[in-house]
Structure 1
Amino acid sequence: MKVSQALIVLYLAAVAVNIAAGQGSGNGNDNAQYNVGSGNGNGNGNANAGNYNGNGNGAYNIGNQNGNTNGNYNLGNLNGNGNGRANTGSGNGNVNGNGNAGSNNGNNNGIGNVGDNNGNGNGNANGVGDPIFTGFAGRSFEFLGQPEHYYNVMSERNHQISTKLKVGVMWDHNGTYMEGIGFHYRSHKVVIELSATNPDTITVTLDGKVLNIADNQNELDHIVESADVNAELTINWQKHRTDLGETVELQTELMRVMVWVTPAGTVDEGGVMQPSYLNFDTTLLAAPLNNEMSGIVGETYERLLAGADKVSDPAHPLYIADDFQFHGKYEEEQYMMAGYFDDGSHALSLLGKKMISASRRLLTATKVAFPLRAGGGRENSARRHLAEGMLANSAASSAAVKFPIHASGYGVVKTSVVADKVKAARSSSRRGL
């Protein structure tokens, strides 16, 4: 038996023992075993949100520094495995399968080679598939984000919309879905989340108190008056709303927010069944205080006011490429929050803060007609609900903005125009996790 064959037999036996024993979350196992040399199989399987990343690297090599730094910082599963094994030489199968949002990237590189520096640097920073937001200016984009984290979606002086993301496994990658929506209005806080016991349904809490719909009822109406001003928040929760299913509608003097659940069972383009997730649609009924909004979607309001001609001009500061990717004023992690509600402490939130500039240009009734629309999610069929508003606002300019305006975001998209943008996004570089 050749030396290489004997080494592979020993490796398979070792793997069998580890599988039988169980390895926790399954990241970073079977690295740096039975090597001749030093520095093999280091730095694998760290800081992953998924399972079975960075395993089986740097084993049974003759030489130094084989199979290092594989399978780290991945959102998906099975990235950066089986690199740098049974090699003669140095530096084989290193830096593979890191920083991926998807699965099965950067595996089995640098194995069975004679020589140096084989199979390095493959399968890093790949994958798309995230909540698809549509801003007030009418452009759609994916927002990567990180699962189990909260983000500032939209805020102004008396309102804030936030979201919590979760992992979604798709046909060739992992992405993120929205599993919770937070709505902060003056002193009131509403949380809408997928139910822990039945994720195809939602739970609603108001100021920490759980709301319930009677077993024999389909709808719950709740009105909350603000103690400090002459304003109110209305909550309408329907178990079955036409075209949307289970839906919660929130309305104040400034905006109407609709949140609805897409039950588990939808199928992506690769045939993989998807979990349940939330979508939302926000309609501005009037101009926010001082015409200022912030957040992932909120900041697109400024682009709407600037006009389509400015947003489409690469020389303008508010220009955004129409490439289906997120082009925010800040980096993605800067929109991250500690929870659904920040009580005005978040650097990019306007909630509860004074006006930034008293000299900022104000809208006039002759230039703006409300409502305006924005939102996010992953449900393609819900685009029918937004189509009229989107088409009306696609050519908005600073000379004539008609309200309401809307923004939204959806997921598995089948229209050819957006599908082409998705493909382009997958082939281009984008920020990793």
Structure 2
Amino acid sequence: MKSSERETLSIRRRRRKLTLKQKCSMLSGQSKWKSQEIAKENICSFTMSDGPHGVRQEKTDGTAFPSTCFPPEVTLASSWNPALVYRVAAAIAEEAAEKGIDVILGPGLNIKRSPLCGRNFEYFSEDPLLSGILGKAYIQGAKSRFMETCVKHFFANNQEYHRMTVDAQISKRAIREIYIRPFEIAIREADPGMVMAAYNRVNGVYATENQDYLSNLLRDQWHYHGVTVSDWSAVHQRADSVKAGLDLEMPASGGVNDEKVYQAVKHGQLPIADVNRSVERLIAFGDRCEENRKKRKELHRSGKASHRRLAREAGAEGIVLLENKHHLLPLCPEKLSAESHVLVVGPLAKSPRIQGGGSSQVNADDVCSPWEALNQTYSQIHLDYANGYAFEKQATSQAQKRLREEAVNKAEKADAVLLFLGLPDSIESESWDRKDMNLPQDQ
């Protein structure tokens, strides 16, 4: 008998020892971030944590433990460098392992279908091929450190406005060529441990209840063998989602949906085979995570200092220069004299917005602001600063005018001006979209 056959038999035997109540309990989380454990039957739980550009492990008060904040996927994609994405994912996996995490909730593989989407920072690209290749690299990088990943949000979660209820009407061709193509590349070529079903509906059916995609496509056509999980609180009719092929509901439902599944089986509305199928996948995945924990003990870890250097390297590779009129850049220190006067304008120079807002927001353990870096690099010249505009707060028109006038007056005396502009969380974040492509008026 092959080892795979022995494993299948072992999983089946353990599943058969479970009562229907126990099996139903496995189909939802034990807590907000952890799957159900049944120690008596040697069924392991696994712990998940938000990604994808750093570990956001929640404390009990909802804040996050400190971690290295790597550039978000939008910046990583601008590098066009799968090898870099691989290394970043491996570093994130090391930090996740140190925190006792088994699954990073990432990478995000949704297509940037609108420039207004508040979560665009968390996705790679508007190009399906680039997104798929970089998603594959991310999964493989995490796997190199024996860490599981969860690709999300499957699929057509391309706006935050009404994301819980919106019905994405898409042709079959567009679905194949655009929306699921990144997932297909990453899943078929890198085999992530989990796939997360999105909040939205696709052509009238919720992603968490869509058998055409959760089972017929994922399982039958792509031969995916991992676990499917809901986005947090994305489940509507739990029995329908089990039938469609959604293995795990997150977070814990307090037993409410477990009981609905139990009653659906008892009343013949849900085949017990559908429950057994998901339970066996969850048992197998728990075993896989337990094996990963053992393997990680033997790994040499690169350390936080190395991760900070990598974050800086990734940020540099992701820079996009739109124009360099008159070859103004770079401002080389050796070309500037002690009499040179450089003005820095904008609160973002001192308090940089290094990531988007929402569930992926990392509590960065080390941030060097542009202002600090400029002072270190250009120590021999005269550096000056002006706010120029208000950020993340409502300022009166008179206050805004004073900030502008101060910046303009200082700029008249400067040899060069470095202007830092950008959007606050209140304009662009998970859960809401931008209203337009404009900078805030006072900028």
What TM-score range do you get, normalising by the shorter chain? under 0.3
Q: Normalising by structure 1, what TM-score?
A: 0.23
RCO higher in structure (CA 8 A, sep ≥6): 2
Q: Normalising by structure 2, what TM-score?
A: 0.23
**Going by fraction, where is strand more abundant, 1 or 2?**
1
